[in-house]
């Protein structure tokens, strides 16, 4: 493998993916009204595997303070309800047959603080994902240098590029977190 075969674009694409996942998770964190995206990060134990909630039922927003999930398979209703309760979003689902109603509590100062903590947790998961991609890239560079495919100078240059990508993506994550925190705390 030569310097040309070390794919810096792939590393950047994987880091971009981590930031994009964070954007989707933040879109689900509500700042004041119901959003079907609130339930996007939830996975359900179904058919022996973890599945996104959207693949086992239809999420609806009948009014600004209520979400509904119409579960397609009656056997999964309990699993969906359990997944929503354990998602740490402060939601209390109520089941009526295949329909799960999820009333959204008024955002008190305490609830806003909880949502900020959830946002921080999502951001930290994204930072970890970016650092894992960085580590993979650095390991690949070390291996290439060990195998004689890269000189020390090339290794150092590419390692600097990977670090710059990492710093840029971590800064983007921190910026998204700051904006989301402001949205949540605005009454």
Strand order of the β-sheet with 94-96 is: 57-63, 66-71, 99-103, 94-96
List pLDDT tens digits, range 86-137: 887 778 899 999 999 998 877 788 878 888 998 999 999 999 999 999 999 9
List pLDDT tens digits, range 19-75: 999 998 888 776 666 777 788 888 899 888 999 988 999 999 888 788 999 999 899
Architecture of domain 3-25+108-185: Orthogonal Bundle (1.10)
CATH class entry, domain 33-103: alpha beta
The DSSP annotation for 31-91 comes to: SSS--GGGGTT-EEEETTEEEEGGGTEEEEEEETTEEEEEESSGGGHHHHHHHHHTTSS--
Name the segment(s) of the chain with CATH classification 1.10.132.20.
Answer: 3-25+108-185
Residue where the block lists tokens 């240059």: 157
pLDDT of 134 reads 96
Q: In whole angstroms, give the CA distance from residue 173 to residue 166.
A: 11
Name the segment(s) of the chain with CATH classification 3.30.1360.40.
Answer: 33-103
């Amino acid at each position: 493998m030569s310097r040309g075969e070390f794919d810096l674009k792939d590393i950047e694409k994987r880091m971009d993916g981590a930031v994009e996942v964070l954007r989707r998770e933040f879109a689900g964190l509500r700042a004041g009204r119901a959003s079907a995206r609130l339930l996007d990060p939830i996975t359900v134990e179904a058919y022996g595997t973890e599945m996104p909630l959207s693949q086992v039922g239809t999420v609806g927003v009948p009014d600004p303070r209520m979400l509904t999930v119409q579960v397609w398979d009656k056997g999964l209703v309990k699993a969906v309800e359990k997944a929503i309760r354990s998602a740490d979003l402060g939601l209390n689902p109520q089941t009526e047959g295949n329909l799960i109603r999820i009333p959204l509590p008024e955002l008190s100062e305490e609830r806003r603080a909880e949502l900020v903590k959830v946002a921080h947790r999502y951001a930290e998961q994204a930072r970890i994902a970016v650092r894992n991609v960085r580590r993979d890239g650095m390991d690949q560079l070390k291996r290439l240098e060990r195998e004689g495919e890269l000189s020390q100078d090339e290794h150092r240059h590419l390692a600097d590029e990977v670090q710059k990508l990492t710093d840029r993506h971590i800064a983007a994550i921190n910026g998204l977190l700051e904006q989301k925190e402001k949205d949540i705390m605005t009454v």
